[in-house]
Structure 1
Amino acid sequence: MIAARSALAAALVAASAVAQAQQPPDASDVAAPLRPAVVAYRQGDVATAERTLRSLGAPSADSEAWLGAILLDRGNKAEGLRLIQRAADAGSAEGQHRLALVFITGDAGQARDPARAVELFAKAAAQGHRRAQLNLGTLYLRGQGVQRDLIQARAWLEQAAMDGDVYATYALGRAMSESAPPVSADSTRAADLFRRAAEKGHMRAALRYGLALAEGSGVKQDLAAAQRWLIQAQQNGVPEAALALGDMAVRTPATRDKAANEKILKSAISWYQVAAGAGVPSGQFKLANAYLAGSGVARDPVQAQLWYSRAAQQGLPEAQQALGVMLLTGVAGTMDPVEAFKWLYLAERGGHPEARAVREKAGDKVADRDRKRGEALAQTFKPTFELPSDESLPRLVPVRR
């Protein structure tokens, strides 16, 4: 379960450093003179948006901020940045928010400066800018550009979620599900927030709500409902939900009906195969375990080593440990002490409790030069992640009842 939970924890953090709040299609969140341009911009018609903003007789700081954002999108970095900076200096919350986005992403030729972004988001958030409140809360939650502070994170995300924004609701749920002294997790509130976001089509919230239902965390345990939410999440681009579905099947109590038990085990393996194929490292690790043990599938050490290798390359310590042992023993037909020691060094660095003992036990059987080469390779290792890093917000999907 440790490997599964670590993979899920990684998946539950949004890929992007910052987020955009759900935006009204009628642009009712901006001043009336700006609405036609902002509507066009949000619909992807940046040419019309730019033309409309430039036609304003008396441009405001907010209009300059929007025009600057449009120019950045169109590749006119210099003028776009100049307008955004001027709007921010004039006290425009939109300008401050847009300039913060520049510093958090390193756009327009600017170096990334998360601390400066936090300052700007804070100024815009204090003026009631919902997206800035969401982004500021997210940065406090992650400790990015500022010391991690769960109290501040929750406070700002509460404000961002006041109007029912689905992304802010999900982010607040994440903040409520975590604990950091003196703040405790509130699993009941978190589950309710995940449910609300999931019902609006946020599939990562559906994953979290499904997990809460499966575990009875903050909500009454309901395995059938948990499965429904997890399947929806898996079918709509959240492969970690397949891992959770496999874990649910594995936890099903065994009965005297051997055929039924075998069917449940094969169901678990099929979900692990889906997760593994999609690039979920813990799914790959659990599928490798099944191949090594011949549990639910025919025993196949070669397949086990392949899946351990893919998970190890993504930095999963459990897989690195297992792969190191396989390469030391040659159970899959291949012995490679250099690679074995590399993976064992990495597993130890990742906190695996048995890696050092295995290395020390095998030390007398492995040449000193091979041990040193393995350690040198471990020092230069960088994980290669298979799941794409999507910088956009997750799309919302219709929810089946």
Structure 2
Amino acid sequence: MRLACFAIAFVIGFCRVAAADEAQNAAFVAGCDRAAASPFDASKPAGIAGIPVDKIESSSAIAACQWAVQAAPTNDRVVMQLGRAYLAAKNYDAARMQFDKANRMGNVLAATELAGFYQKGLGGLPVDDTEALRLLRKAADSGSYIAQTNLGYFHQMGRGGLDKNENEAGRLYKLAADQGYASAQINLGTFYQSGRGGLPRDDLQAARYYKLAADQGNAFGQNNLANFYRDGRGGLAKDDTEAARLFKLAADQGLAPAQANLGKYYQDGRGGLAKDDVRAARLYKTAADKGDAYGQSLLAFFYESGRGGLPKLDTEAARLHRLAADQGNLASQDALGGFYENGRGDLPKNEGEALRFYKMAADQGFAAGQYHLGCFYEGGLGGLRKDESEAARRFKLAANKGYAPAQLSLALYYEQGRGGLAKDDNEAARLLKLAADQGDAKAQAELTELNKRLPK
């Protein structure tokens, strides 16, 4: 009887210890969830929002998740979260080991993270797009919208041995976007905006997807939506105030294109912002230092004229224009042409090189480039044969875009009957007024003289 009672007491005591251990283990897992859960993990407990990797407090998260892995070694979620904690600490070797372990346990987020390590050659892994592709396919087939988005990018760019296939990329972006994934919504919006991926060009759809992403706080979505408000696209009314608000939200998250855009609003005093060249220059420099071409170009123009508290410094302007031009910025390509034409910014005077940059910008439809190319045809510069007909054609292309110097030059051609154009004082007067209304002093003086000769 005593033995039976002892056995019952032992069982009761054991159960109490087991229950206490189970509660403690659950507490360890919960601590890891709070410290390092992914916002994109459907398996995370209710009430846990998740934390982006760059917001994880790495030392406490590593400690919490190490305890959780010891307490629940078969829980693939906490193993994956330990990998995220190491990733936040930039301990790529340790992160890779945890992601690999969680992937072998069937965790699709870990597979997606591991694919990223193969893409970038992190954690001691070689750069291997083929292995990254295998992991992304595995995760995408399991329904991971992050993997679907990344796999779409592989199809878009033709990576991992795939042929470029924007239609398949668009399909995958839509799968992920319709599950609410902001990055996919941005990519899909971009495809609609440009009519790519087998999708029609549709600004309404682009604006809709940008807004879905922006409403989640996505900086790219905020910046793209701001551009639509600025230009009045996608069924949106022009609204500089809303554009400025969205640019600021994105800029405050460190997005370089938004910082450059916000700087331009300060430069111009748009969207309810006071004109502030100093703040504009600071934003341009922040964007330029991150390699943003628009920021580099705008900062270069400030150095040219010594605005925003910056010294007038052609050498720095030339350097920045070169950086922006090499990334395809049209304004800087045209500006660099001017630097070579005039031998500015420690660049040699070189009409051939000036012509190359003017033509680069002109061939992509940039009005100033078209005008400057027209001037080279007019003067027979840079090795070109003098050709006023071609000059007139180039001036007209730029004038039709509202470029005042081209409107003035084309007006003079009509006034004088040059470049194969019939003499036409009325057309000359029309063009001169367009340029004069933009503040062009030469056009204003010429218009005054022409009006004296025109019949009343």
- The answer on 1:35 being equivalent to 2:86 is no
After superposition, the C-alpha distances for 1:61-86 in whole angstroms (9 at most, x for unaligned) are 33333334434443444443233223
Which of the numbers 212, 218, 232 marks the counterpart of 1:159?
212
Are the aligned partners of 2:152 and 2:168 in contact in 1 as well (CA < 8 Å)? yes
Change (3 A) 1:267 1:70: closer
What pairs with 1:175-254 in structure 2 (closer than 5 Å)?
A: 175-180=228-233, 182-224=235-277, 225-234=279-288, 237=291, 238-243=295-300, 245=302
Q: TM-score, normalized by length of structure 1?
A: 0.62
Partner SS, residue 113 of structure 2:
helix
Q: Secondary structure at the match of 1:239?
A: helix
Matched, 1:173 2:215: no
Quote the Cα distance in structure 2 between the aligned partners of 1:86 and 1:214: 49
Amino acid at match of 1:309: R
What whole-Å deviation, never above 9, does each CA across 1:121-168 have from its counterpart, x for those lacking one? Answer: 221222232322333233333433222333333333333334534344
C-alpha change, 1:168 and 1:42, in structure 2 (3 Å) is farther
Give 1:336's aligned amino acid: L
Question: How is 1:48-87 mapped onto 2 (pairs within 5 angstroms)?
Answer: 48-56=94-102, 58-73=105-120, 74-87=126-139
Letter in 1 for 2:83: A
Q: Report the alpha carbon displacement of residue 301 of structure 1 after superposing the two structures with TM.
A: 12
CA contact (8 A) 1:245 1:268 kept: no
Distance in 2 separating the partners of 1:247 and 1:112: 42
Deviates more, 1:55-64 or 1:116-125: 55-64
Partner of residue 331, structure 2 = 282
Deviations 1:3-49 (A, max 9, x none): xxxxxxxxxxxxxxxxxxx9433399x95442233454576665544
Distance 1:196 1:326 in 2: 44
Maintained 8 Å contact 1:328/1:335:
no
Q: Provide the aligned length of Structure 1 versus Structure 2.
A: 322
Q: 1:270 to 1:195 in 2, by over 3 A?
A: farther
Change (3 A) 1:99 1:172: same
Q: Report if aligned partners of 1:305, 1:323 keep a CA contact under 8 Å in 2.
A: no
The one-letter amino acid paired with 1:241 is L
Partner of 2:384: 336
Q: Report the Cα offset of residue 59 of structure 1.
A: 0.8
**Once the 2 structures are TM-superposed, how far is the Cα of residue 317 of structure 1 from its aligned partner?**
5.3
Q: Which runs of 5+ in 1 are unaligned?
A: 1-21, 253-263, 364-401
Match of 2:360 in 1: 313
Matched, 1:136 2:193: no
Larger relative CO (CA 8 A, sep 6+): 1 or 2?
1
Match of 1:12 in 2: none
| One-letter amino acid of the counterpart of residue 99, structure 2 | L
Amino acid at match of 2:223: Y
Q: Secondary structure at the match of 2:53?
A: coil
In the TM superposition, what is the alpha-carbon distance from 1:335 to its structure 2 partner? 5.0
Cα distance change, pair 114–351 in 1 and its aligned pair in 2 (3 A): farther
Aligned position for 1:150: 203
The alpha carbon displacement at 1:58 in A equals 2.9
Question: Is this contact kept in 2: 1:320–1:347, CA < 8 A?
Answer: yes
Contact 2:339 2:354 (C-alpha < 8 Å) held by counterparts: no
Distance 1:175 1:217, change over 3 A: same
Cα contact 1:72–1:108 (8 A) shared by 2? no
**Greater C-alpha radius of gyration:** 2
- CA offset digits 1:82-128 (Å, max 9, x no partner): 33223222222232122112112211111222222122122122223
Tell me how far 1:346 sits from its aligned partner.
9.5
* Equivalent residue for 1:127, pick from 156, 175, 179: 179
In structure 2, C-alpha distance between the alignment counterparts of 1:94 and 1:335, rounded to whole Å = 53
Query: CA separation in 1, counterparts of 2:179 and 2:371?
Result: 51
Aligned partners of 1:112 and 1:91: how far apart in 2? 23
Q: Is the 8 A contact 2:229 2:242 kept in 1?
A: yes
**CA distance in structure 2 between the aligned counterparts of 1:109 and 1:86, rounded to whole angstroms:** 16
| 2:300/2:316 contact within 8 Å kept | yes
1:108 counterpart SS class: coil
Counterparts in 2 of 1:84 and 1:286: CA distance versus 1, 3 Å: closer
Task: Between 60-69 and 102-111, report the one with greater CA deviation.
Answer: 60-69
Identity of aligned residues (%): 20
**Alignment CA distance shift 1:31-1:147 (3 Å):** farther
- 2:167: which partner in 1? 115
Q: Distance in 1 between matches of 2:371 and 2:211?
A: 42
Kindly provide the amino acid, as one letter, of the partner of residue 59 in structure 1.
Answer: G
The separation in 2 between residues aligned to 1:346 and 1:39, in whole angstroms, is: 61
> Is there any run of 5+ residues in structure 2 with no aligned partner, and where?
1-50, 62-75, 121-125, 401-405, 421-456
- Normalising by structure 2, we get a TM-score of 0.55
